[in-house]
Structure 1
């Protein structure tokens, strides 16, 4: 009951459909105006479904500048484990490294692999193509929401966050189990975290030392967001204008990346892009930033208006929205895919 009341009082903990319930009519209005239920698909024409859901990281990385993202290879589930080992070794990877589904969401099946046994278990359970990616040791993770109208060379940064994965800080006394149980966000994912850290639950974390409970800096994985809106300036715009114009076809979305420092990012150096999220990207700067639900809705509606206008401009250029049945079948397939990944996520 206590956790239920806590979630009810904090809109950020509500289910997705509930957070968006009161503004859904506006989305439907855009569908009616455009004459298409999938009006947003022309927004990023070189991403499947406009990058709304179910797009692969493979296609996203292929459209980013070389060297702007971590070293990555792709593993098919049909490969034998021996073939996987050989491919990884020939590609120059060493433990530890990151694995995650090519088509994934919300940090599902995102893992840090430190030894062969973990990789073997992951590969044997994984039902879909996944990627092996170099572990990025840059200390700071950022999220940048950026859009650019198709007829313009300069874009707009609407959101700029620093993201930190969920962690506990040791006191030199309590075990990791106790620290997890006391953490205000971890308690909402207690079963999952206890399973992930079952071999370390008796560990006493040294006083003042951080222990990361997950490496995925997603809101639903308990990450903490620090709003850096005051740091948005011309330097940052120049970096992302140059980056965005490389593909020429990314017009609306969010870049998640890691960098050595804020200063280096603004100088356009020492950063690596982890993901680019297209038309389905949330303006996540409304979370952990003091927005009440009404203010968050106002900000989200501003972004929806931009998404509609960008899609309409591309539509006028001949980039048509997906037909209804094509989009419907695609979403049903994506739904099954994510359900299967969630099932496996609980096993590995």
Structure 2
């Protein structure tokens, strides 16, 4: 199946004639793109009397998920209904010194949880896919663990075979019987299909979108760029579904149906006190996802979540900021309601800064991601 026909099977929108393969702001420096978001956050902080109020939007998650949250702790909030929709996982912590029994510990944890290779190894505290790697055997897992920081938590999770990837943003205010899906991002990994003649590098150059992000891809795949895939062989260039690593994001809000909303709402009602979250998942087909079936959740993100549909190449800058302001505005409103109802206090600014710094230091020490 060609890339185009495969994308069509998943329901990817076409790139229409004359459409740019990237939005003009997709690769702006972070400080430039997020400057208006920071201003908006400051204005909301003045209105509500707290710069960290969104930390209350998910009161059982550390700092509400603004930063420094534990992936394992969030998934462990799930009750029996939510758990059946979550990809099987196990958390563990590396030993305090090199040469410890990390591999044996990991293998025992996998056996107790019913995990088998391949699995996705990922840091317990991270973002943007940093440190995420697929491991296929003991040797690869041992290499990953040896490169991982000491006495640091990580997660091993089943590799879900579904090709489709999506991020679904869910919001429910305290006291509301039903939440709502406010954003859907359909993610398409960078893939080339061999013809037995051209190298991976040449296949990248022949694809408008992949050529536009070729600097990102070629720096990552190394010698693979010069290999010549067999006719019909599909080569996935990166594993992590992140637009800044070469994936294409498409706005998918039009796939939302009552059935999908009901399913996500059912799951989130079994995630205690999680009101504001982007749910990252893998799905079989878009028809199945619309029906609320045949998908597995990889992780739940908290108050630091971004509605990633803003990175659709067709997105306008105005719509991107409107989307950002709406979602972060909701996180302040939910935090304010929980403060009013329960009398809870948001995390202190110094503690939040310490969490951010701790996460930043860990991310710099993680193994390279796929």
- TM-score, scaled to structure 1: 0.88
Distance in 2 between residues matched to 1:136 and 1:121, nearest whole Å: 22
Match of 1:22 among 27, 36, 39: 36
Distance in 2 between residues matched to 1:256 and 1:242, nearest whole Å: 16
1:1-348 superposed matches below 5 A: 10-64=24-78, 65-78=82-95, 79-84=100-105, 86-87=107-108, 90-91=111-112, 92-127=114-149, 128-180=152-204, 183-190=210-217, 192-195=219-222, 198=223, 200-317=224-341, 318-341=343-366, 344-345=367-368
Distance in 2 between residues matched to 1:50 and 1:17, nearest whole Å: 23
Contact 2:256 2:290 in 1 (8 A): no
> Per-residue deviation at 1:190?
4.5
Per-residue CA deviation, residues 275-304 of structure 1 (Å, 9 max, x unaligned), is 111111111111115122122112211112
> Per-residue deviation at 1:146?
1.2
The corresponding residue for 2:6 is none
Q: How many residues get paired? A: 337
Distance in 2 between residues matched to 1:12 and 1:167, nearest whole Å: 20
Distance in 2 between residues matched to 1:96 and 1:185, nearest whole Å: 31
Q: Are the structure 2 counterparts of residues 181 and 8 from structure 1 closer, same or farther at C-alpha, using a change threshold of 3 Å?
A: closer
> Per-residue deviation at 1:156?
1.8
The corresponding residue for 2:5 is none
Contact 2:193 2:231 in 1 (8 A): yes
Q: Are the structure 2 counterparts of residues 90 and 35 from structure 1 closer, same or farther at C-alpha, using a change threshold of 3 Å?
A: same
SS at match of 2:181: strand
Give the aligned CA root-mean-square deviation in angstroms.
Answer: 2.4
Q: Are the structure 2 counterparts of residues 81 and 62 from structure 1 closer, same or farther at C-alpha, using a change threshold of 3 Å?
A: closer
Contact 2:126 2:359 in 1 (8 A): no
Q: Are the structure 2 counterparts of residues 34 and 118 from structure 1 closer, same or farther at C-alpha, using a change threshold of 3 Å?
A: same
Contact 1:175 1:201 in 2 (8 A): yes
Per-residue CA deviation, residues 186-239 of structure 1 (Å, 9 max, x unaligned), is 4232464134xx4x4443113344211112111112111232222222222111
Per-residue CA deviation, residues 29-60 of structure 1 (Å, 9 max, x unaligned), is 11122222212100011111111112111111
- TM-score, scaled to structure 2: 0.83
Contact 1:186 1:193 in 2 (8 A): no
Distance in 2 between residues matched to 1:168 and 1:132, nearest whole Å: 28
Q: Which runs of no fewer than 5 residues in structure 2 stay unpaired?
A: 1-19
Q: Which runs of no fewer than 5 residues in structure 1 stay unpaired?
A: 1-5
The corresponding residue for 2:10 is none
Q: Are the structure 2 counterparts of residues 154 and 89 from structure 1 closer, same or farther at C-alpha, using a change threshold of 3 Å?
A: closer
